[in-house]
Amino acid sequence: MTARTGPLVAGIDSSTQSCKVLVVDADTGAIVREARAPHPDTTEVDPQRWWDAWTEASSGLLDDVRAIAVAGQQHGLVALDGDGAVVRPALLWHDTRSAEAASDLVSEFGGRAAWAKAVGSVPVASFTVTKLRWVADHEPDVAARIERVLLPHDWLTWRLLGGRAEPVTDAGDASGTGYWSPAERAYRHDVVSLAFGTQVALPRVAAPSEVVGEMDTGAVVAPGTGDNMGAALGLGARPGDVVVSVGTSGTVFAVHPGSVADASGTVAGFADATGRFLPLVCTLNAARVLGATAHMLGIELDDVDRLALAAHPGAGGLVLLPYLDGERTPNLPDAAGSLHGLRRDTMTPENLARATVEGMLCGLADGLDALRALDVDVRRVLLVGGGARSAAVRQAAPTVLGAPVTVPEPGEYVALGAAKQAAWALAGTAEPPEWPMRQATVLNCVDDDAGERIRGHYAEARRAVFGG
């Protein structure tokens, strides 16, 4: 147990895969206790399973906790009736059945530029607004019962308050729905009507450090946020920092002082958890690609590292387009992965492992370029997530991303960000607490020639399959 100097706060990361709980010293950010419990591996789930996981993970952890906040997976649709009961399993961000609905909505609202201007983002299948349309089109009897819509973190926060208080959300998570405008700081009810055919009750958007209620234990509850916003807060990211997160999905996001509107749809113009903005690029396929390659080769995940490090940069010309579960950026929900450059001399386990690492990173590098194109300042790249633990990913990242990379000490930064928000609400200060930066490794080994070659081959393979 870590020594404490201040009151204790708790941060919850309710992710796609699990519920993680950190109990943290509010003065120093030091982790005092932690636990986790798994979530079902599916694209739709009964929200009660999140509550069960939270109950399991938090058991015995919270007796002396003074404040708490939830950071959760973005975009999910939690549909409630007038009594607050869940009317269908929650549709999660990586459920792509609403791809056609997304395309229809883009056209009906006047195209990509109109969407970007209205809500900062062009909706894809991940966004909540597209799931609303899908339910309205495919489950009309269910849709008729829906009176309120929440996001996953909103629902958990509401349950922490006993299901009695007015449901709340925050600007960060609301900005990922497709019907809340970061620039206007307001819901677009016309978009809700377009998607669903009628209005539904939506959670109040609370201020970043607002106390929104109390638990039965007396601990105050902060509004919470989305997982990417929580990670930025936990890392202490500032303007000029770009976070590249290699988790279940891959994300590239930056703390930015102004709102952005990318008519191409590559960059989502989200808000962050502090009152600033968080332009973000998301790929569906990140660390899971490494696991899929390990499974295909019949080896352990650590062996993927060993093989990839034994191959030369560029994998002898072997290229993997890693769209194993369709893709969000680029918007290819029905795509499949593919290998290119197969020759007898390139068809080795070492080259396949290397191509897996480089293909995954190339998608993230495209995201970094998209942020730069919107004049987002890129001074420091922070590499985080489970995939950042990979030695091969660390070796290849500076070259493929084309920039020096800082790798913070591995940690649960989403939960840590939620804990920081809880500490902020408890303190009632103008800005969130300043917690010491954790130990970090700086990787400066950028090989520009190899990077251009790798990314050039990747772009050629993508054009050959998808055109453009």
Residue 280 has a CB neighbour count (10 Å cut-off) of 30
pLDDT tens, residue by residue, 143-165? 999 999 999 999 999 999 999 88
pLDDT at 3: 60
Q: What percent of the chain has pLDDT over 70?
A: 99
Q: Structure pTM?
A: 0.90
pLDDT at 439: 76
pLDDT tens, residue by residue, 331-342? 888 899 999 999
**pLDDT of 408 above 90:** yes
Q: Where are the domains of the chain?
A: 8-235
pLDDT at 444: 82
**Exposed/middle/buried for 317, CB within 10 Å: 0-12, 13-18, 19+?**
middle
Per-residue pLDDT band at 349 (split at 50, 70, 90) = very high
State the Cα–Cα distance between residues 205 and 213, nearest whole angstrom.
14
pLDDT at 442: 87
For residue 74 the two structure tokens come to 């973005």
pLDDT tens, residue by residue, 81-98? 999 999 999 999 989 899
The CATH architecture assigned to 8-235 reads 2-Layer Sandwich (3.30)
State the Cα–Cα distance between residues 392 and 406, nearest whole angstrom.
15
Catalytic residues: 227
pLDDT at 419: 98
Average pLDDT of the residues in 369-381: 92
The least confident of 273-277, 302-306, 400-404 is: 400-404
pLDDT tens, residue by residue, 191-200? 999 999 999 9
Query: What is the distance between the terminal CA atoms of the chain, rounded to a whole angstrom?
Result: 55
pLDDT at 1: 47
